[in-house]
Amino acid sequence: GGDGSGGRAPGARFGAGRHMPRDDGFCPHVVVRRKALVLEDVRDYPRFAGNPVVDEFGIRSYLGAPLLDRTGIALGTVCVTDVRPRPWGRSGLDTIKAMAVELVDQLELREGGF
Domains of the chain plus CATH, in order, are: 6-111 (3.30.450.40)
Round to whole Å and give the CA distance between 106 and 4.
23
Round to whole Å and give the CA distance between 24 and 96.
20
φ/ψ (deg, to 5) at 88: -65, -35
φ/ψ (deg, to 5) at 80: -130, 150
What's this model's pTM, rounded to 2 decimal places? 0.78
With b for 16 or more beta-carbon neighbours within 10 A and e for fewer, the 81-102 pattern comes to bbeeebebeeebeeebbeebee
**How long, in residues, is the chain?**
114
pLDDT tens across the length of the chain (114 residues): 333 444 444 443 445 555 667 677 899 999 999 999 999 999 999 988 888 888 888 899 999 999 999 899 999 999 999 999 999 999 999 999 999 999 999 998 887 755
